[in-house]
Amino acid sequence: MKKFFGVGLVLMAVSACRTPVQLRDAHNYTIDQSSFYDSASAAVLVPYQASLTDSMSTIIGHTETPLMNTRKTGNLGRVMADYTLEYANRYCQENNQAPCDFAVLNNGGIRNSIGVGPISLGHVFEVSPFENKLVIVQLNGRQTAELLEFIAAQEGTPLSGAEIEFRSQAPFLVKAQVQGQAFDSRRSYRVATNDYMALGGDRFTMFLNPESFEETPWMIRDVLLWGLGSETQRFQHVQDRPQLRVYPSHESQN
C-alpha cells in the first residue's frame, strides 16, 4: 500500500506542474513484493506523505450516533441530502434565484459510513471520493413525477425536503409530499442533486432535458465538509436523522 501511496503522490506532484504532461505510451505494470524499491525516491516522498496524513487527520466534526451508509435506510444519506438542500438554497439566495424544493442523491455516491466520535477530513474523503458537483435542475411536473416514481421503485435514496410512500408493485408511488405539501404534477420543481445524476447516471434519466440546469462551483464533498463542521459548531455534534423519508405503505405491510 505504501508503494501505491508514493505513486499517487508523484502523480499529484506532476499534475500540479505548469508544464503539460504528455503520455505517449500506455503500459500496465504489476507492482508486488518483488518490485524494485528505490529508497532515494521514497525518502523524497516522506515529507509529502506526512503532510497529507496530517491534513486527513484534521477534525472537522463530531457525531454521537453512527452515520450509516445503509442502502434505503441509511441516516448518512439523509444527513448529506439535508446539507445538499441547505447549501443549494444558500447558493440560490446569494444569486437571487428561487429556492430549491427538495434534494436527492444516489446511494452509490456514498462510499463509506462514519462511526461514533470525531469526524476527520479523511472520513469525508472516504464517504465522498468522487468529484461530483452540486447542480440545480428544474423539472416540469411530468419529469418530477417520473423522479418520484423511480425513487419509490428503488424503495429509497437520500432525500431531503420531500417524503415518499411506496408500495411493492407498480405503480410504486402511493403519495408524495414536497415541503409539506402534496405533490402537484401541474407545476415545476427545482431539485438539488449532483452532476452525475443530472446527466442520467444510475438510471436517473428523468433529469435529462430539464427546464433549466445550473452547475454550482461546489462539489458534494465540499457540501458535506461544510455541513458536518457547521452543524457540529451549532449543536456540538451532528444530529441523528432516524425518521425514514421514503417509507413503505401501511397497506403493503399488512
Asked whether residue 213 is assigned to any structural domain, the reply reads yes
Which cell numbers hold the place of 149? 416514481
Mean pLDDT of the chain: 85
Asked whether residue 204 is assigned to any structural domain, the reply reads yes
Residues 219, 209, 153, 176: is their CA dihedral positive or negative?
positive
CATH code for the domain of 215: 3.90.780.10
Give the Cα separation of 131 and 38 in Å (integer).
Answer: 32
Q: What is the mean pLDDT of residues 41-66?
A: 74
Domain that holds residue 106: 60-253
pLDDT at 26 over 60: no
Give the Cα separation of 45 and 21 in Å (integer).
Answer: 20
pLDDT at 229: 97
Distances (CA, A) of 39 to 35, 45, 248: 12, 10, 59
pLDDT at 252 over 90: no
Asked whether residue 186 is assigned to any structural domain, the reply reads yes
Asked whether residue 41 is assigned to any structural domain, the reply reads no
Note the pLDDT tens digit of each residue in 211-238. 999 999 999 999 999 999 999 999 999 9
pLDDT at 14: 32
Number of domains in the chain: 1
Structure-model confidence comparison of residues 20 and 155, the more confident one: 155
Asked whether residue 40 is assigned to any structural domain, the reply reads no
Asked whether residue 23 is assigned to any structural domain, the reply reads no
The answer to whether the CB of 175 falls within 8 A of the CB of 185 is: no
Strands 162-166 and 173-178, how do they pair?
A: antiparallel
Asked whether residue 163 is assigned to any structural domain, the reply reads yes
Asked whether residue 33 is assigned to any structural domain, the reply reads no
